[in-house]
Chains A and B, each alone.
Chain A
Amino acid sequence: MTQLTKHEPTTIYIKPSKGLAALNLRDLWVYRELIFFMVWRDVKVKYKQTLLGMAWAVIQPVMTMLVFTFLFDKVAKLPTEGIPYPVFSFTALLPWGLFVVALNQGSRSLVAHNNMVTKIYFPRLILPISSVFAGLVDFAIAFVILVVLMFYYQVSPAWNLVWTLPLFLLLAIVTALGVALWLSAINVQYRDVNQALPFLTQFWLFATPVAYSASVISDKWQILYSLNPMAGVVNGFRWALLGTGNGPDIALWVSTGISILIFISGLFYFRSMEKTFADTI
């Protein structure tokens, strides 16, 4: 910044904002290094002073997968479109795990960092954004486990479709961030969000085809079902990796549309509430 101080200093105008707040993404760009440092700190601190450390990123999805396998494969014998159940469910648990971490950490991010919010200026959007990105590290570790599982069960990936995977990953991130923007901003004023989160997460899991296949839902409910953007994400992951399901159909576009709607509206809601954060938190 020594160079920067030599530059002509820019003038900042501070005044009460009215109506819809401008998104001011330029400011976010100026502070991009802070996003990096926040993600780095979250990852670094997350498993400090734990016995198993990073192994937790593996243990959590694997244990869930084992429980699901017992309940839904051995006991309930749910159909899996010819894919071994562990691989079938783990493929869905990958984006789901990312979503849950992003949703929970993101929604709590403002309140958790209230000392930063009340003491210094920085674009508040950085807090939910970096919480969501921090979940990507666990995602990457769990992804390695999926590759191992696929080798073990000799499931060959749908090579021609795998390139679409980053798009579905992006959809998962956009969805999680959109919901986190809404909930983190509401949480500043109403801590009810903290109480609702575990319940919301559980409810959302049942409404998403993680443990079961979306094909068990009858056709007439498919569109209603696709209003859940995570349904689109999970189906997309299975389609891109395993080749099951329909691929991009109306349901997927509905999911994507809803997800973008939540994200954009969340962005504006967050920005319009931002000016009161330091006073109400």
Chain B
Amino acid sequence: MTTAISVKNIGKQYKIGAAESKFRYNMLRDVIVDTVSAPIRLAKAMIGKSDRRQNQNFVWALKDVSFDLEEGKVLGIVGRNGAGKSTLLKILSRVTEPTTGTVSVRGRVGSLLEVGTGFHPELTGRENIYMNGAILGMRRAEIDSKFDEIVDFSEVTQYIDTPVKRYSSGMYLRLAFAVAAHLEPEILVVDEVLAVGDAEFQKKCLGKMGDVAQQGRTVLFVSHNMSAILRLTQEAIVLNKGQMLMRASTQEAVDFYLSSGQAQAGQRVWDVEDVPAASAPFRPISLKIMNRSGKAVDTVRSTEPITVEFEYQLDAPVTGLRVGMYLSTMRGEYVLTSFDTDAPNLFEKFDSRGAGRYISRAEIPADIFNEGRYTIGVNASSFGVRRYFMDENAIAFNVDISGAPGTHWPEPRVGPVRPRLNWAIEKIGE
């Protein structure tokens, strides 16, 4: 097997903060000085001696990422927003340069980072196919030979000589995807394009991607859609804060990703830098899932009550605060929403909370959950006033159903809840 992509210790550093300092004037004097010295500053900046350099902050969007990918393999990339997925794809498709490290890529890289790049509204569908093809690196002869196929795939045959500004947004996206999908590069980089078009077209796109993989091409696939990742890839890497946490079979990587952020089993801890500044004065500290004996656990038994404990700090008094959770299945269906001041007596007693450290604790009774994996999202807000903090995927846990109602039949049951209902059976006649 030959290696299609070899990534060695790549890192990408971005400057932040420079733009803000530029426009922050405190005094009229500053404004005048700034205006007078502007030409000098421009000249300095052009020769690369910016005097603003010292007050710039740097962040690593990607750090020390290394992996090899063999030809013909499909690799999924998962991670939260800001984990560095898009930066990685941009480096691989040569849109931006890495700050450190090297990459070698064997063959042409086709990127579906954004379909329809270079489309011009005044040009017809036909003209845009040629234009877009050329931008994506196709030769004219190549576009000629694939033209009919592209038009068929896009389903806009009748409108092919109409300017694309007259297209519906669905037609526009279909045409754009059709060109990109027919690029036939050795390596295809796909980022969230499956969000385009209607369900029918999405199916077609997934099919096309499957074809591409079967033809022995190498595919890198980024998506937030875990079911698409599971369907299309066998292997995936997990990125977090610019670092590669793991590379494993897709099932394992997706599980890991969904339960990531747990410092230890059954516990999520927020470091100071994990909390957005906008959350102040609210600061989350930890979230625990505990079994009956008070131990933080990753797997709970459905036949026992479980305790959810959320610890947080208020750096200033807050009025009308409610802290709560959203509980949902891994597939994204909500199971319940609950807040700590749902009960009227607590609602009155904690109308205002002074600065200090708090724990909001809830007991979820036994016999609620069905078998499976669930996530808890946390939320802290003052109703109708402000939302301080929210983490939709704060922690995940498994539910074991041994001893639950109906387990003497070894069959999976549908539905997220599995309560112990009081059945009665009466014989009411002969």
In the assembled complex, the CB of A26 is this many whole angstroms from the nearest CB of chain B, namely 14
- Of the candidates B94, B97, B103, the one having the most CB atoms from chain A within 10 angstroms of its own CB is B97
Q: Is the CB of B186 within 8 A of A13?
A: no
* Interface hit among A111-119, A202-210, A237-245: A111-119
With contact pairs A41-B123, A45-B123 given, residues A13 and B117 touching in the complex (Cβ less than 8 Å): no
Q: Let me know if B93 is at the binding interface, CB within 8 A.
A: yes
Contact B96 A2 (CB under 8 A): no
CA distance in complex: A121, B118 (Å): 12
Contact stretch, chosen from A84-92, A131-139, A157-165, A184-192: A184-192
Q: How far is the CA of A2 from the CA of B142 in the complex (A)?
A: 7
A120 near B14 with CB under 8 A, answer no
Chain A residues 6 to 24 lying within 8 A of chain B, measured CB to CB, are 9-17
With a 10 A CB-CB cut-off, give which of A117, A121, A190, A192 has the most chain B CB atoms. Answer: A121
- Are the CB atoms of B186 and A5 closer together than 8 Å? yes
Q: Is B420 an interface residue (CB 8 A)?
A: no
Which one of A34, A45, A113, A190 has the highest number of Cβ atoms from chain B below 10 Å of its Cβ? A34
> Is B137 in contact with A122, judged by CB distance below 8 angstroms?
yes
Q: In the complex the two chains form, is B14's CB within 8 Å of A14's CB?
A: no
Q: A1, A14, A48, A279: which contacts B94 (Cβ < 8 A)?
A: A14
In the bound complex, CA of A106 to CA of B12 (Å) = 30
* Of A16, A34, A49, A119, the contact of B95 (CB 8 Å cutoff): A119
With a cutoff of 8 Å between Cβ atoms, the chain B residues found around residue A186 in the complex are 46
Give the A-B contact count at a CB cut-off of 8 A.
Answer: 115
Instruction: List the A residue with the shortest CB-CB distance to B95.
Output: A278
A37 interface neighbour in B45, B98, B131, Cβ under 8 Å: B131
Known: A120-B95, A120-B117. Contact between A1 and B142, CB under 8 A?
Answer: yes
Does A44 make an interface contact (CB < 8 A)? yes
- How far apart sit A37 and B130, CA to CA, in the bound complex (Å)? 8
Q: Are A11 and B127 in contact (CB under 8 A)?
A: no
Instruction: Please determine whether B97 and A33 come into contact, CB atoms closer than 8 angstroms.
Output: no
Known contacts A5-B186, A279-B14: A34-B135 contact under CB 8 Å? yes
Residues of A within 8 A of B94 (CB): 12, 14, 121
Indicate if the CB atoms of B98 and A15 lie closer than 8 Å: yes
Residues of A within 8 A of B422 (CB): none
Q: Does A151 contact B (CB under 8 A)?
A: no
Q: Say whether A275 faces chain B, with CB atoms less than 8 Å apart.
A: yes
Contact status B46-A1, CB under 8 Å: no
Residue in contact with A14 in the complex, picked from B91, B130, B145, CB distance below 8 Å: B91
Query: Which 8 A/B pairs are nearest by Cβ-Cβ distance?
Result: A9-B107, A121-B94, A1-B142, A14-B103, A37-B134, A275-B97, A15-B102, A278-B96
Task: Supply 23 A–B pairs (Cβ within 8 Å), ascending by A.
Answer: A1-B139, A1-B184, A9-B186, A10-B107, A11-B107, A12-B94, A12-B109, A13-B102, A14-B102, A14-B105, A16-B99, A31-B137, A33-B139, A34-B134, A48-B122, A113-B118, A115-B114, A121-B94, A121-B95, A189-B45, A190-B42, A278-B96, A279-B96
